[in-house]
Amino acid sequence: MAPAGNWESLQAALQAGADAIYFGVEQLNMRARATMNFTLDDLQEISERCSEKNVKTYLTMNTIVYDHDLTLVKAVLKSAVEAKITAVIASDHAVIAEARRVVMEVHISTQLNITNLETVRFYSVFADVMVLSRELSIRQVKAIVDGIKRENITGPSGNLVAIEVFVHGALCMAVSGKCYLSLHTQNASANRGACVQNCRRKYTVIDQEDGHELEIDNEYIMSPKDLCTIGFIDQLMDAGVTVLKIEGRGKSADYVKTVTQCYREAIDAVDAGTFSQDKVDQWMIRMEEVYNRGYWGGYLFGKELGEWTNASGSKAKTRKIYIGKGHHYYPKSKIAEFIIEAFPLQVGDRVLVMGNKTGVIETTVQSLHVNDDGAKEMANKGDRCAFPIDTPIRTSDKLYKIVSAETEEPSL
């Protein structure tokens, strides 16, 4: 299950072979800021784009809910049912109850922090899928899955309750994201989807009595590394987890595409019996190119202490720089034309084309046709340039160059 914070990411998830996507509309989800969300009017198109590819659509509505939100809850769920959205990911009981009333499938959000079989049984009256707490070990996850089978715990559909876990992406220092820090310092409640991620900054600890600064090896004392389970995804699947969730509605489409593709390949490899350390190494190389705070296996092996990051932002080995915008596509010759608006482009450059309908295309510039001057090695700002790409691009698309994270900004 891949995150879709916007059209670009949604399209990237579809291209990368996700079985399901999750997204938010309006403000009642854990990424409430408008830039990471869709609106009610988008529901129909989300549903159509995904059902065409047989991909399930999950609407997240998992903040705490106040009385003034109840009408919106009803309106969103009504629209979601009409648009044939597959299910809602909920935590507040008002949302769960309303979803049942309008006969919408319910998935229990990790915000409800399910950590044992009896809680699964409790929520099985309402929900067919449950996301377990991010803090459980594989052993604990397996015990819950085994218990569901042994005691035949079924959801409203009559099928056994399915278990979902987070397999990749940001973790935070708070249990199941129930954090007060952002509210405390910025008045921005994480539990209303407005987390400002102040845990990701550097801190020093000072003893107020004598003014001594505590010696801390790492100043990012509250910022864990990102979860990555691809190296032991076979064990998670063996444990009976059926839904594997990738975090990242606030991240860019190239992250969504790369990470989803890697996990798609990993799952298929496990199914085919070809999962191997060599392959894991290859997937890790690819995933280290996109946004990450360094990776660790989370709590799935019952680590006593978390692993803290040593950087404020991404440790990705590459970054993308904006080059220009789409201009034209020649379908017969499969040539894409772009206008260069920023930095120069050269033959041999690795590039990304990103857009709401296009999603993410990655390719290498094999040859470059500049303006009407024929083949060239380089195109500069203001130039119209063309190179071969197998799939169509659009005028709304943006062209980026992938460079090593250490590369300084090239001169214009």
Partner 1 sequence: MITITQQRLKCIGCNYCVEVAPHRWQMSKKDGRSQLIDSRERRGFWSVQVSEEEREINEKAAKLCPVKIIQLRG
Binding site residues, partner 1, CB under 8 A: 26-28, 32-34, 66-72, 75, 186-189, 192-194, 196
Longest dimension (CA), the chain: 75
Least distance between partner 1 and beta carbon 26 (Å): 8
Q: What is the DSSP code string of 209-255?
A: TT-PBPP-S-S-TT-BPEEE-GGGHHHHHHTT--EEEE--TTS-HHH
Q: Taking the alpha carbons of 101, 102, 107, 112 in that order, is the dihedral positive or negative?
A: negative
Least distance between partner 1 and beta carbon 320 (Å): 27
Burial of 281 (0-12, 13-18, 19+ CB in 10 A): exposed
Are 72 and 29 a contacting pair, CB within 8 Å?
Answer: no
N-term to C-term CA, the chain: 40
Of 117 and 174, which has the nearer Cβ to partner 1? Answer: 174
Of 66 and 180, which has the nearer Cβ to partner 1? Answer: 66
Of 69 and 226, which has the nearer Cβ to partner 1? Answer: 69
Cα(200)–Cα(182) distance, integer angstroms: 11
Least distance between partner 1 and beta carbon 254 (Å): 26
Least distance between partner 1 and beta carbon 43 (Å): 15
Of 183 and 311, which has the nearer Cβ to partner 1? Answer: 183
Please, which residues bridge with residue 21 across strands? Answer: 2, 57
Cα(29)–Cα(50) distance, integer angstroms: 20
At 90 the three-state DSSP class reads strand
Could you count the other beta carbons within 10 Å of the beta carbon of residue 297? 16
Of 187 and 404, which has the nearer Cβ to partner 1? Answer: 187
Of 86 and 182, which has the nearer Cβ to partner 1? Answer: 182
Are 38 and 19 a contacting pair, CB within 8 Å?
Answer: no
For tokens 């109850």, name the residue: 97
Least distance between partner 1 and beta carbon 80 (Å): 16
Least distance between partner 1 and beta carbon 7 (Å): 18
Cα(343)–Cα(154) distance, integer angstroms: 57
Q: Which helix (H) or strand (E) holds 40?
A: none
Residues 6+ apart with CB under 8 A from 248: 3, 5, 9, 169, 170, 255, 256, 259, 291
Least distance between partner 1 and beta carbon 79 (Å): 12
For tokens 């300084």, name the residue: 408
State CA 26 to chain mean position distance.
18
Q: What are phi and psi of 87, to 5 degrees?
A: -160, 165
Least distance between partner 1 and beta carbon 63 (Å): 9
Least distance between partner 1 and beta carbon 184 (Å): 12
Are 133 and 113 a contacting pair, CB within 8 Å?
Answer: yes
Q: What six digits make up the tokens of 248?
A: 């990242």
Of 187 and 208, which has the nearer Cβ to partner 1? Answer: 187
Least distance between partner 1 and beta carbon 192 (Å): 5
Could you count the other beta carbons within 10 Å of the beta carbon of residue 178? 13
Of 40 and 311, which has the nearer Cβ to partner 1? Answer: 40
Of 196 and 237, which has the nearer Cβ to partner 1? Answer: 196
Least distance between partner 1 and beta carbon 25 (Å): 12
Of 33 and 328, which has the nearer Cβ to partner 1? Answer: 33
Of 99 and 243, which has the nearer Cβ to partner 1? Answer: 99
Taking Cα atoms as reference points, which of 324, 338, 405 lies closest to residue 371? 338
